[in-house]
Amino acid sequence: MITSTGNANIRRVSGYLNKSKDRKHDKVFVVEGFKMVREIQPERIKEVYISEDYVKKASKEENEFLKKLKNGYELVSNTVFQKMSDTQTPQGILAVVSQYEYSMSDILGSDKPLLLILENIQDPGNVGTMFRSAEGAGVNGIILSRGSADIYNPKVIRSTMGSIFRLPFIYVDSIPDTVRELGQKGVKSYAAHLKGTQNYDEISYENGTAFMIGNEGNGLTREAADSADEYILIPMLGKVESMNAATSAAILTFEAARQRRNK
């Protein structure tokens, strides 16, 4: 059992949790909690760490899972696990996982793909929630600008509730260039914008569709918004001036899902 926070492996894993550059260098990320860890494709699991309390309280299902781990696991003291964890109430198990590598062809997914394009979304919770709702709506893939939050941030990972393992995504250098590329492939892009002239539910999304969502505070940049085929508006009552980015993404993608489901 590892009992020192100075242990080289413990310091390395802590680096993965706290530093994006460490994750990028070794092409890994960290997943915490049994419900999330058990959803990881087995071949992607590089290391597993469990606390001494976890061993004592593990269910039959959890013990069976641990027995099947190809590379086994490292047992650490409760104090060390607390230091390793990114949460205040650690669940006692975490895994170091290989990062994903996707291409545009993975994102497109079908001849009539449903996509999300996220520009400079900063809040990790928003990004993670978008992944979760996007999977529920049948989105084929997510495209993010380089200025968006790191998908491998532990807060993003937790917020995806496992969707990170199933939904393809890529980061791109230029949203406008990507939108034009999608247009050449038959995908029409719609920018969620306060200056939209049509309400979102007045348009058909049965063919290739990409919804563009901008930064929480500033929305889409003008260059990105102008690259869209059309501005669309989510009408609101009362004195509300704008909608939360993750909420907007869910509204738009589930409207597309509704239309496609009824055909």
Q: How confident is the model at residue 262 (pLDDT cuts 50, 70, 90)?
A: confident
Q: What is the mean pLDDT of residues 207-223?
A: 94
At residue 89, does pLDDT exceed 90?
Answer: no
State residue 66's pLDDT score. Answer: 94
Q: How many residues in total does the chain contain? A: 263
First-to-last C-alpha distance (Å) of the chain = 57
Q: How confident is the model at residue 239 (pLDDT cuts 50, 70, 90)?
A: confident
For the domain spanning 8-98, the CATH number is 3.30.1330.30
Could you tell me the two tokens for 4? 């020192």
State residue 152's pLDDT score. Answer: 97
Q: What is the mean pLDDT of residues 47-73?
A: 94
Q: What is the mean pLDDT of residues 85-103?
A: 93
Comparing CA positions, the residue from 197, 200, 203 lying closest to residue 213 is: 200
State residue 236's pLDDT score. Answer: 84
Domain with CATH 3.40.1280.10 in the chain: 104-261
At residue 263, does pLDDT exceed 90?
Answer: no
Domain 104-261 has CATH 3.40.50.1100: no
Torsion of CA 42, 44, 49, 50, to 10 degrees: -30
Domain with CATH 3.30.1330.30 in the chain: 8-98
State residue 212's pLDDT score. Answer: 97
- Structure confidence by residue, pLDDT tens digits, 103-160: 999 999 888 999 999 999 999 999 999 999 999 999 999 999 999 999 999 999 999 9
Q: How confident is the model at residue 102 (pLDDT cuts 50, 70, 90)?
A: very high
- Structure confidence by residue, pLDDT tens digits, 226-236: 999 999 999 88
Q: What is the mean pLDDT of residues 204-217?
A: 95
- Structure confidence by residue, pLDDT tens digits, 17-51: 999 999 999 999 999 999 999 999 999 999 999 99
State residue 99's pLDDT score. Answer: 97
- Structure confidence by residue, pLDDT tens digits, 164-204: 999 999 999 999 999 999 999 999 999 998 787 899 999 99
Higher-pLDDT residue of 263, 200: 200
State residue 242's pLDDT score. Answer: 73
State residue 64's pLDDT score. Answer: 95
